[in-house]
Amino acid sequence: MSRKLTIDPVTRVEGHGKVTIHLDDRNNVIQSRLHIVEFRGFEKFIQGRPYWEAPVLVQRLCGICPVSHHLAAVKALDVIVGVGPDGLTPTGEKMRRLMHYGQIFQSHSLHFFHLASPDLLFGIDAPPAKRNIIEVAREFKELAVQGVMMRKFGQEIIRATAGKKVHGTGAIPGGINKNLSIEERDYFLKGEDPLNIDKMIEWSVAAIELFKDYHRKHRDMVDNFAAFPSNHLSLVRKDGALDLYHGVLRAIDHKGNKILHDVDYQNYLDYIGEEVKNWSYMKFPFLKNIGREEGWYRVGPLARLNTCDFIPSPLAQKAFEEFRAYTNGKPNNMSLHMHWARLIEVLHAAEVMKELLNDPDLQRDDLIAEGERCEEGVGVIEAPRGTLFHHYKVNKEDLITMCNLIVSTTNNNEPMNKAVREVADQMISGQKAIKEGMLNAVEVAIRAYDPCLSCATHAMGQMPLEVSLYDAEGELLDIKTK
């Protein structure tokens, strides 16, 4: 008798989704899918609104990384107001960069310390009552405090640049609406321990060491868990450097061959298509030149560290060299190494923030640039979870007529499904009994991508995980819900 397992809801991720796993008579996995079951419709209801509302309105897709949507939208509008990505004033661009790297810092810290660390510290098989941030705080107090304070630091950077920690208004078409005062700057540069940038850099280095230590002790699991070859896509700076705010689109295959050659993202529709499947609200993007079947790709920290040539900050570059050396310079296709890559980006973000905080351009008053208005623009940014596309068309009356969003988690749709399949095959296939820890292993694979399913379907709500058990005739035998 075949059976169907449903994990609903998936926990410790942003948003709401479920996993279904079909088993045959011998408990072999015959199909597994990550379903995204929410729908919101931001792309529709932004239509007819004045274009300058988009960065403030559309960012409400998400409460975790609204800054990414805020900035991707405003970058598209920069094009529409004729300023373009290269026409911002130094203060405008640097304030936005500071906002964005603050966002990367806080979101990555949240993911690693609050969401992922319970799996690493207590083990995938640990009971759910143990496998949570409260227990981390109880048993690893110092680490938990670091996580909370690092997130706070990033959030304070966002407050200082966007006006408030969640859903600010800082970036406006053509620039920014405030600079950074000396007092605000010194709060971050000379703040009372631990809330200062030097301590953040020190803790970021320590977090990488924490992961490396875990890796040393669990090398087989970390290297083989949900490891599969894939293409990788991200923005890179024109010289190939890691740049999370702006650049050109680059994609490589699993061997490291370039399959998208540093192209201008204004023409993203020439390169990227989106496929719809009837069992998920989340679309499946693919590279058109490779095709629907093989053109899917990963985005996010792992992809970024695979596509870029170097990291333009010294400590992160050193960590990057070690990361690349582990795979002999070849692309890293191991899903759990996403945590390693994410922590290297945390360190890079801290170093970039320090450099920006010491830049006197942030205290200048030339905030907004002007240009000749046009009717269409695309904004792309590297959000914490990966490449984020915003595309708008605006009519002569300044109202939005079209909006297309491809968010990071959507780009990772097929890889996450692939990861679920890999883990289901590894951990569940052929097993006589289904244990809770096996289901958590599926979640661990999804969680590594730090998915934001709310963003991906433009939906809201917590992310539950449910596993249903079906027999060969499709009769529901059992459901386990977390």
Partner 1 sequence: MAQTIKFTIDGVECTAKKGQYIVDAATENHIYIPTLCNIPGVKPRGSCRICSVRVNGRMMTACTTPVSEGMEIENKDPDIEDIRKAIIELMFTEGNHFCPSCEKSGNCELQALAYRYQMLAPRFKFMFPKRRLEATHPKLIKDHNRCILCKRCIRAIKDEEGHSLFAFARRGHNVEIIIDTKYSKNMTDEQAREAADICPVGAILVKERAYTDPIGKRKYDKQPIGSDIENL
- Contact residues toward partner 1 (CB under 8 A) are 48-50, 52-53, 56-57, 60, 81, 162-164, 167-170, 172-173, 177-178, 397-399
Least CB distance from residue 52 to partner 1, whole Å?
Answer: 4
Contacts of 250 (CB under 8 A, 6+ apart): 233, 234, 235, 236, 258, 260, 261, 262, 263, 307
Least CB distance from residue 103 to partner 1, whole Å?
Answer: 16
45/279 with CB nearer partner 1: 45
Taking the C-alpha atoms of residue 445 and residue 10, their distance in angstroms, rounded to an integer, is 11
152/178 with CB nearer partner 1: 178
46/208 with CB nearer partner 1: 46
Least CB distance from residue 415 to partner 1, whole Å?
Answer: 32
181/267 with CB nearer partner 1: 181
What are the distances in angstroms from CA 371 to CA 175, 209, 222?
12, 47, 50
What are the distances in angstroms from CA 332 to CA 21, 327, 414?
27, 6, 17
Strand runs (DSSP E) across 305-427, as ranges? 376-383, 386-394, 400-406
95/251 with CB nearer partner 1: 95
192/397 with CB nearer partner 1: 397
Contact between 76 and 55 under an 8 Å Cβ cutoff? The reply is no
Least CB distance from residue 109 to partner 1, whole Å?
Answer: 23
Least CB distance from residue 248 to partner 1, whole Å?
Answer: 29
Contact between 51 and 374 under an 8 Å Cβ cutoff? The reply is no
70/348 with CB nearer partner 1: 70
Least CB distance from residue 237 to partner 1, whole Å?
Answer: 29
Taking the C-alpha atoms of residue 72 and residue 431, their distance in angstroms, rounded to an integer, is 45
177/429 with CB nearer partner 1: 177
Which tokens belong to 26? Answer: 């011998």
Contact between 33 and 468 under an 8 Å Cβ cutoff? The reply is no
Least CB distance from residue 73 to partner 1, whole Å?
Answer: 11
Which tokens belong to 278? Answer: 């009837």
Least CB distance from residue 389 to partner 1, whole Å?
Answer: 21
Contact between 9 and 466 under an 8 Å Cβ cutoff? The reply is yes
Contacts of 326 (CB under 8 A, 6+ apart): 332
Taking the C-alpha atoms of residue 450 and residue 68, their distance in angstroms, rounded to an integer, is 15
**What residues pair up with 466 in beta bridges, in sequence order?**
481
Which tokens belong to 356? Answer: 């920006």
Least CB distance from residue 394 to partner 1, whole Å?
Answer: 11
Spatial CA neighbour of 324 closest among 312, 311, 335, 336: 311
Cβ burial, residue 210 (10 Å; 0-12/13-18/19+): buried
DSSP 287: E
Taking the C-alpha atoms of residue 152 and residue 345, their distance in angstroms, rounded to an integer, is 17
Least CB distance from residue 58 to partner 1, whole Å?
Answer: 9
Contact between 344 and 208 under an 8 Å Cβ cutoff? The reply is yes
5/56 with CB nearer partner 1: 56
100/108 with CB nearer partner 1: 100
Spatial CA neighbour of 338 closest among 454, 220, 226: 226
Residue whose token pair is 């958590």: 440
371/437 with CB nearer partner 1: 371
Least CB distance from residue 40 to partner 1, whole Å?
Answer: 14
